[in-house]
Amino acid sequence: MPLSRQDCVELIRELLGLLREYDPGALDLVLEATERQDDPRRYLVSLLGAVTKIYSERSGGMYGPILDRVNHFVRLENGSPVRGLSIELSPIERELYKADELDLAELPDRSEFLTELKVIMAEIVRETESPEGR
Amino acid sequence: MTRDQIQSELRNIFSRHLGISSATTKGLVPQTLPTGKLYEAYVLGRVVEQLATREGYSLYLVGGTKIQLKTSGGPINRNYPRIELRRYGACVAELWTDIQFLSLSYCNASPRTITKGDFHELDILIVDAGANGYPRFDQVWLGLNAKTRDIKRGCSGRYLASGANSVS
């Protein structure tokens, strides 16, 4: 059965609740990145779009292909490949987190999460765009 | 799918994939920290590809074995890794990441103490070979900001910065 406006309101609540429970830091980013919509169906789809975008930005799944590309065109002076990509922390972050850098290779791979979320998103779009769901 | 089925599937996806990671993967470092940095690395990859294939530069990472991005910008520190752009074996320019450079208005004004408003910060900056500290605006060959989301703060250095928007 197509999703009604009320169904979408419930799903928005569920999604925000899950983010609050599992990743409160991401919740803030998602809300900031989501365009406000009056129509809950559109808002739900926008929210899911923001979730996928934010998690794809920090998924280690992107790391390998990026390093491969860099190594295709950049070499060390001795001809060896570039060893990796990292984020250098600021002095205060070093003190806080007791680490000098964050190796991007250590980021969790969110590829499966993103794939499954995109399936759900496609389903929601299909259900909200069907004539009965309007 | 019904609403209940979608709700249940969402709960499953979150608990299976996000349930343990944030606490175990990288100690105390918040997961929000790398947000955007992977995209910056992706844009960097595209830039070096174009520099090599379209512009014909030979590219070498010097000063380290890893490319280092930073959580906050600053001046050029030559103890850090950078990518040299070489032509016929000679370094003609250097690519740095997360660098602040001096603005046109500061450089054109009478000499005075540098304040925060006299800088622009860009994620990827190509400057004259050998530049040190805060490079002048006229030492900049190319500057890019790699942002996947709308920029809500003021956009600086627009006259020479190219916005690299998400392609995902």
In the stretch 40-59 of chain B, residues with CB closer than 8 A to chain A read 41-42, 44-46, 48-49, 51-53, 59
Report the C-alpha gap between A46 and B125 in whole angstroms.
33
Q: 3-state SS string over B91-151?
A: EEEEEEEEEEEECHHHHHCCCCCCCHHHEEEEEEEEEECCCCECCEHHHEEEEEEECCCCC
Q: Name which of B119, B45, B1 is nearest A123 in CA terms.
A: B1
- Rounded mean pLDDT, B1-26: 75
pLDDT tens figures, B91-103: 999 999 999 998 8
- Rounded mean pLDDT, B13-40: 67
Shortest Cα distance, chain B CAs vs residue A132, angstroms = 13
- Rounded mean pLDDT, A73-102: 89
Chain B contact present for A118, CB below 8 A:
no
Higher-confidence position of B55 and A63: B55
- Rounded mean pLDDT, A16-44: 88
Higher-confidence position of B152 and A72: A72
**Closest residue, chain A, to B45 (C-alpha):** A70
Residue B164 reports pLDDT greater than 50: no
In the stretch 92-131 of chain B, residues with CB closer than 8 A to chain A read none
pLDDT at B168: 29
Report the C-alpha gap between B168 and B147 in whole angstroms.
12
Split at pLDDT 50, 70, 90, the class of B25 is very low
pLDDT tens figures, A115-133: 999 999 999 998 887 655 4
In terms of average pLDDT, the best of B6-10, B62-66, B162-166 is B62-66
For the ranges A13-17, A39-43, A56-60, which has the lowest average pLDDT?
A56-60
pLDDT at A37: 85
pLDDT at B123: 93
Report the C-alpha gap between B6 and B74 in whole angstroms.
46
Chain A contact present for B90, CB below 8 A:
no
Name chain B contacts of A59, Cβ cutoff 8 Å: 38
- Rounded mean pLDDT, A44-53: 92
**A97 alpha carbon, distance to own chain's centre:** 23
pLDDT tens figures, B36-92: 788 899 999 999 999 999 999 999 999 999 999 988 889 999 999 999 999 999 999
Split at pLDDT 50, 70, 90, the class of B148 is low
Report the C-alpha gap between A45 and A33 in whole angstroms.
13
Split at pLDDT 50, 70, 90, the class of B154 is very low
- The residue whose two tokens read 């600021």 is A90
pLDDT at A40: 92
